[in-house]
A and B are shown apart, each in its own frame.
Chain A
Amino acid sequence: MAKDIVIEAKNFNFYYGSVKALTDINIKIEKNSVTGIIGPSGCGKSTFLRSLNLMNNLILTARYDGEILIDGDNILKKDIDVVQLRRKVGMVFQKSNPFPKTIFENVAYGLKINGIKDKELINQRVEESLKGAALWDEVKDRLHVSAFDLSGGQQQRLCIARALAVQPEILLMDEPASALDPTATLKIEELIQVLKSKYTIIIVTHNMQQAARVSDYTAFFMMGKLIEYNKTNIMFTNPEHKITEDYITGRFG
């Protein structure tokens, strides 16, 4: 791992009230790679993902310590600008959640809240983002219809386009295909392969095959601990720990 490291967690602990959800997480994530996070339900993988853009701060009882460095800045510092952080670290959620607005408005939203008023620039970015999310050809003739008219898979790609519009460096994906059918899932997975040339992607998934297909690195979480983290091909062929092998081969989960 000699390449650029964009995210590094050091001795990161996370608590919901008195319940410890993550224990002593240490991980380094490489630029322009896809990192898959796998593990059984409740293992803390989503908690970890949502720590990277401080979405957990919406939960009143959330507490944490340790360090998470993004481009060398510790985002757990008290005076961190959450707004700037989230512009840099975009997120796609498990269930597609477009706003009840038009397709265009959905993608343009992030630009408008950033104070961009230039219509030309907005139009251009919306088009770029929709192309980036492989949705442009399907919606270019109906940009001004409600986002709810799209299919589930299209809605999820719209959410990806919306995240891309603010030009993040890192894209967090929380089981982005878990509610989609196989065809729509395949499209998302192909898209991830294209996107990684521009973005660093971290994807939480329940689906082992998906992790194996899309990710360069895989992190296996269990009971709040990072059990194993390695190149995906090594992890899936020759895991270091017995428990990783048991999980990957479906002996529990």
Chain B
Amino acid sequence: MGSFSNKLSFSKKLKEASIHGCFLVNALLVILVLAGIFALLVWTSFPAFKEISIKEFVFSADWNPTSYVKESYGILSMLVSTLMVTIGALLFAVPIGIGAAAFISDIASNRVREIAKPVIEILASVPSVVIGFIGITLVGPYISKVFNLPDGLNAINGSILLGIMALPTIISLTEEALKSVPKSYAEASLALGATKWQTIIKVRIPAASSGIIAATMLGMGRAIGETMTVLMATGCANAMPTNFTDSVRTMTSAIAIELGEVAYDSTHYYALFAVGLALFLITFAVNLAAELIFNKKQKQ
């Protein structure tokens, strides 16, 4: 028996090993690409820090690389702009997302669910330029009317659009999280005389909370990195925003606007890569946090 299986196993082993190797290479390739992007960003932004102190870069709100008097490279206003539109987006996308997910998983009939889920997936695939159009032609005028502003290209507009773009991620993942909450919790709650509504709010959503937090973080990662929509809808004023009706220029739009016109090998050129590096670090941290929270949940 032993020798019999040994004879067969050589070619089998070879096949197994080659399949194993194939997948390993694929997996390593992904890691390699990520590491490569990181290395490239570090490498190309490194020269910028010969001219700019990290302190000035992070804490100065003054970004004026083409000044005749004194060039300045502070990203604080862009950083604040990015965080403003992102947080603004989450403020309305998270409640709506959780509500929609709870509706789909707990309340909707099978037929409604079968329609709603693909529709949400289609929403995820709408190109960001198209969302930008909506911002300019639909959301913008409405905001300018409501807040009595000359135009509606500002942080609110960006927040609404980014919120819409983050919704599919938040809804799908929250729905998954709710689906994985054991049915026995809902049964216990209903058997105690709780209404369906109380059961969703007080038992099911809290039980899915780590999944919902992970969903929120991933939605946030989506919103932070989005470029075209905010470029089109926020007005892109290069100044420190003071409130949500101000026009803002996020990190992504600053890179997109300026990189096409910057002189190669100038400090400005490298500084834009440094902005990219900062953005990469933020999204990386957000995604890592989401992953850690999700893993903690899996262990429970």
Contact = CB atoms under 8 A, between A and B. Distances in A.
Given A113-B198, A113-B202, A97 B192 contact: no
B191 A109 contact: no
B195 A83 contact: yes
Contact of A99 (B185, B195, B300): B185
Interface string B164-207: 00000000000000000010110111111111001000110011
Contacts of A159: 188
A58 B190 CA distance: 10
Given A55-B187, A97-B187, A113-B198, A162 B192 contact: yes
B82 to A, nearest CB: 35
A90 B192 contact: yes
B195 to A, nearest CB: 6
Interface in B99-125: none
A100 B208 CA distance: 10
A157 to B, nearest CB: 14
A101 B206 contact: yes
Contacts of A163: 191-192
A159 B195 CA distance: 19
A100 B206 contact: yes
A85 B195 CA distance: 12
B192 A99 contact: no
B212 to A, nearest CB: 14
B217 to A, nearest CB: 20
A112 B202 CA distance: 10
Contact of A53 (B184, B189, B191): B191
A109 to B, nearest CB: 7
Interface of A: 53, 55, 58, 83-87, 90-91, 93, 95, 97-101, 109-110, 112-114, 148, 159, 162-163, 166
Interface of B: 182, 184-185, 187-195, 198, 202-203, 206-207, 300
22 contacts: A53-B191, A55-B187, A83-B195, A86-B192, A87-B193, A93-B184, A93-B187, A97-B185, A99-B188, A99-B189, A99-B207, A109-B192, A109-B202, A109-B203, A110-B194, A113-B189, A113-B194, A113-B198, A114-B193, A148-B300, A166-B192, A166-B193
